[in-house]
Amino acid sequence: QPKKEAVEEIPINMQAIVALRCVFVSPNAIDKRIAYGSGTIISDDGIILTARHLVDTAYIYEASNGRQGFYGYELSHCDVGFPKDGATTPPVEQIRKINPFTDIDFLPYVARIDFLPNTEGLSQAERSLLDVALIKIIGLSEDAKTFGVTTLPDSFAANTMLGNGLPKANEEVVTFGFPSGGPDYGSHFRLQGSVGHVRRILGGDQFFRNKPVEIESLMETIGGRSGSPLFWKGYVIGVVSFKEDNSINAFATSIIPLIELLPK
């Protein structure tokens, strides 16, 4: 068998990591609910990779057996913001010691759903684990006018997905997202990193049998980090989905099933 080539490390683009404020409306359009999360732009035309449970009420309702989700509500849009030009990702050693944050002042863009994976033929376990979605920036938010943003950029910064390789157990992974907890969370966002290592990679039990569906890592991932990109050697390899209660076991959906289900 030919030897697999080693994956060379590439830089992470901080300007491609986004804060999301997703607005859901009731059937009569009178009431609304809001969910907050993270994501990363993966193409220069503004496609964002994020967690499906942030944007698809039916998915989270089914995956939680009816315990969670804005049942009956529909996603209106997600407001999107990212760091200013010039912001760079801190080194891993700095994240471990002081974990500096980068402020995002406002969310100037609007995104809507671009792609949800078709779950036909998947087992119930695989459907619940496939917590990944694509949304696309399509216009300006209400905040944009307030802060003087009048046009969409010609192209967006993007991070690169890796669809042909994954880390092994104990290899280091890093994620960047917008953890909740600050007193002004929801109106002000702070981007922070989190470093950990892979515990194991889990396969599916039916359609994705023996294929990597979920990446289990030991790392801190509190609320607001849902949808954060999981990086290995600078490449996006997964999307942070959930964590076990009272532990640092974090779970991310591998991007490999997403790539396989994308229209050819």
Residue by residue, pLDDT tens for the chain (264 residues) are 445 568 889 999 999 999 999 999 988 778 888 989 999 999 999 999 999 999 998 887 776 666 666 778 889 999 999 988 777 778 788 888 878 888 888 899 999 999 999 988 999 889 888 999 999 999 999 989 888 999 999 999 999 999 888 899 999 999 998 887 666 777 788 888 889 999 999 999 999 998 999 999 988 766 668 899 999 999 999 999 876 555 577 889 999 999 999 987
Beta strands in the chain (DSSP E): 17-25, 32-41, 47-50, 74-81, 102-104, 109-115, 133-140, 172-177, 189-203, 212-218, 229-232, 235-243, 249-254
Residue 215 burial by CB count (10 A; 0-12/13-18/19+): exposed, middle or buried? buried
Per-residue pLDDT at 249: 78
DSSP 34: E
Tokens of 143: 């905040």
In the chain, the largest separation of any two C-alpha atoms, in whole Å, equals 61
CA distance 150 to 17: 21
The number of beta carbons lying within 10 Å of the beta carbon of residue 85 is 8
Q: Helices (H), strands (E): how many in the chain? A: 5, 13
Per-residue pLDDT at 63: 67
CA distance 255 to 195: 19
CA distance 147 to 183: 22
Tokens of 134: 């694509």
User: Contact 65/44 with Cβ under 8 angstroms?
Assistant: no
CA distance 53 to 58: 9
Per-residue pLDDT at 2: 47
Per-residue pLDDT at 247: 52
What's this model's pTM, rounded to 2 decimal places? 0.92
The number of beta carbons lying within 10 Å of the beta carbon of residue 106 is 17
Per-residue pLDDT at 79: 96
User: Contact 117/132 with Cβ under 8 angstroms?
Assistant: yes
Amino acid, single-letter form, for residue 26 = S
Per-residue pLDDT at 221: 65
Tokens of 242: 């959930």
Q: Which residue has the tokens 């993966």?
A: 42
Which residues are bridge partners to 112 per DSSP? 136
